[in-house]
Amino acid sequence: MILRWIPLKSVGPFNFGSLIQKYYGKFCLKYIPDEYNEKVGWDVYGISDEDIRIYFEEGKIEAVSCGINCIYNDMNMIGMKAEELISILGDKPDTVETEELSDGLHEVYDFDNLGLQIWTKKGIVVTAICSGYCDE
C-alpha cells in the first residue's frame, strides 16, 4: 500500500481523528499489544504484511507509523538521508534524541509543527510517525 502523507491531515487513507470503525473491516486491522501503549492509553493496530501501525485513542486515529513507505512531495521519506528530508520539509527539528534499540542506535527527530517524528539509523530514515497534532 502506498501511503501519501498530508501533514496534520492524513497518511494514505487514514485520516487523523477518524473512528476505527471506518477502517477495521476494510483493512483487516490486527491488534498489537505494546507496553508503551498501555502507558499512554493508546490501542495499536497493524495491517497484515505491511509495516504500518495505526495508533488509536478512544477509537480515533491519533498517529500512523510507516516503515516501508511514506510519500511526501512525491518522494519516499523511508530510506532517505535525514539531512535531505530536513531540507525537503523546509523545517528544522524541534528536538533530536538518541535511542538505543535492539538493532543499535537510532536518532529521533521531532517536527512538532508538522506532527512528524522520524527515526533514523546511521543517518537514514527507517520510520516516520505522523500525527494530526502540532505543538505551537
Q: Which of 80, 22, 13, 18 is nearest to 50 (CA)?
A: 13
> Structural domain tally of the chain?
1
In a domain, 10, yes or no: yes
In a domain, 101, yes or no: yes
In a domain, 136, yes or no: no
H runs (alpha helix) in 19-96? 35-40, 82-89
pTM here? 0.90
Q: Which amino acid is at 56?
A: F
Domain residues for 53?
Answer: 5-131
In a domain, 105, yes or no: yes
pLDDT per position as a tens digit, 28-72: 888 887 655 655 678 888 886 778 999 988 889 999 999 999 999
What's the CATH number where 67 sits?
3.40.33.10
Contact 117, 110 (CB under 8 A): yes
How does strand 52-57 pair with strand 60-66?
antiparallel
In a domain, 97, yes or no: yes
In a domain, 46, yes or no: yes
Query: What mean pLDDT is predicted for residues 17-23?
Result: 89
Contact 72, 5 (CB under 8 A): yes
